[in-house]
């Protein structure tokens, strides 16, 4: 009896157990549902590799497309700018070094195009951004049909360059144009908008203003709606009117956004091409009979595709690229100063 009680009190250990009656933990460790240790390590390595490589796989298409359609043409254009290359004989390339750039610096047409690009950029950018800021300020208050007004302001941006420019060509027509009709109605002599220097530049600038004012207004409106209302309430308690609130609250809070729109508008003015090309008609690539509104984009197009001097056209393209780099550097410096001042 005593021996049977001791046997019941002390069950057999795992070592003494029968081969077919092992404990549950031991059977689970070697069961059919658990993979071997080598499979676990392979799956863990695959999981770690997937976590590290997946982000790069997701962004790889962008870099492939950017490299194929942006980086390679940019480098190839730099190579062309150092050679004498004609459009009719692409295989006959001769080394020119920096001669194309030297010819640009000594060319009156290049400096004329650069001056026209600057003047048209100033005439189109300053009124455009001021009007956009004013429209955004109006839409920031509660107005009836505000959604409709936002769509209306974005409509010029969605209109094609060709359609918009052709409409303005009719408006600025020398014979029968509405603009000259209004000038004659108030007693002012009609203006030949295509042939005059300032008239043609002003006409091209109005096309740019019409197309991009609403777009910039929506950017300003989004930034205004992000301004805390507590600032306006504090200013109102101090006795500030709407104009004072706009000057001392809205404009300081919009400085980064205003700087962004200035930089983007400057880049767009540097690359201005479609509006003056279509506005000039037959002489559009020349920027008028006297090159009075020929921009850098038109000058590059004229040299590369009308004359066929791809080497010089590539040098013009890289000159525009360097100008944009200077604009970006100025933007960076101004942004840093604004951050420090805040």
pLDDT tens, the chain, 342 aa long: 444 444 444 444 444 444 444 444 444 444 444 545 555 677 787 778 878 888 888 999 999 999 999 899 899 999 999 999 888 888 888 898 899 999 999 999 999 999 999 999 999 999 999 999 999 988 887 767 777 888 888 888 888 899 999 999 999 998 888 999 999 889 888 888 988 889 999 999 999 999 999 999 999 999 998 888 888 888 888 888 888 888 888 888 998 899 899 989 999 999 899 999 999 887 778 888 888 999 999 999 999 999 989 999 999 999 999 998 998 888 888 878 877 776
Rounded to 5, what percent of the chain is helix, strand, coil? 75, 5, 25
Q: 3-class SS at 4?
A: helix
Direct distance between the N- and C-terminal alpha carbons of the chain, in angstroms, rounded to an integer? 93
- Comparing CA positions, the residue from 146, 132, 169 lying closest to residue 254 is 132
d(CA 335, CA 342): 11
Q: What is the DSSP letter of 196?
A: S
The alpha carbon dihedral of 26, 32, 37, 43 has a sign of negative
Rounded-to-10 torsion of CA 149, 208, 324, 256? -30
d(CA 125, CA 216): 11
Domain residue spans of the chain? 108-158+198-341
Number of helices (H) and strands (E), helices first, in the chain? 17, 2
pTM for the structure as a whole: 0.77
Q: How many residues does the chain have?
A: 342
User: Phi and psi of 180, rounded to 5°?
Assistant: -65, -30
d(CA 271, CA 238): 46
What are the structure tokens assigned to 252, written together? 């300081």
Architecture field, domain 108-158+198-341: Orthogonal Bundle (1.10)
Residue 120 contacts residue 277 (beta carbons within 8 Å): no
Residue 202: other Cβ atoms inside 10 A: 18
């Amino acid at each position: 009896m005593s021996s049977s009680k001791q046997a019941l009190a002390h069950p057999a250990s795992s070592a003494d157990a029968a081969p077919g009656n092992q404990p549950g933990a031991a059977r689970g460790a070697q069961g059919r549902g658990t993979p071997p240790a080598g499979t676990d390590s392979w799956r863990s390595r695959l999981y770690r590799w997937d976590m590290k490589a997946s982000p790069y796989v997701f962004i790889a298409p962008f870099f492939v497309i950017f490299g194929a359609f942006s980086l390679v043409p940019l480098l190839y254009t730099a190579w062309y700018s150092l050679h004498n290359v004609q459009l009719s004989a692409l295989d006959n390339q001769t080394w020119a070094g920096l001669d194309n750039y030297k010819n640009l610096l000594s060319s009156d047409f290049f400096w004329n195009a650069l001056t026209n690009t600057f003047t048209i950029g100033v005439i189109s950018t300053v009124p455009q951004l001021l009007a956009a800021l004013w429209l955004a300020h109006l839409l920031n208050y509660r107005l009836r049909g505000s959604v409709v007004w936002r769509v209306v302001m974005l409509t010029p941006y969605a209109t094609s360059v060709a359609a918009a420019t052709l409409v303005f060509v009719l408006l600025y027509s020398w014979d029968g144009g509405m603009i000259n009709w209004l000038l004659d109605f108030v007693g002012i002599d009609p203006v030949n908008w295509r042939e005059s220097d300032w008239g043609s530049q002003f006409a091209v600038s109005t096309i740019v203003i019409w197309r991009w004012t609403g777009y910039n207004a929506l950017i300003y409106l989004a930034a205004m709606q992000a301004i805390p209302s507590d600032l306006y309430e504090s200013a109102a308690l101090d006795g500030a009117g709407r104009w004072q609130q706009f000057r001392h609250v809205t404009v300081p809070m919009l400085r980064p956004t205003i700087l962004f729109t200035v930089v983007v508008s400057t880049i767009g003015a540097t690359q201005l091409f479609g509006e003056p090309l279509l506005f000039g008609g037959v002489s559009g690539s020349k920027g008028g009979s006297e090159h009075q509104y020929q921009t850098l984009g038109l000058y590059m197009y004229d040299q590369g595709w009308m004359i066929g001097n791809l080497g010089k056209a590539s040098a013009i393209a890289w000159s525009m690229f360097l100008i944009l780099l200077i604009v970006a550097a100025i933007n960076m410096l101004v942004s840093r100063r604004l951050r420090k001042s805040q």
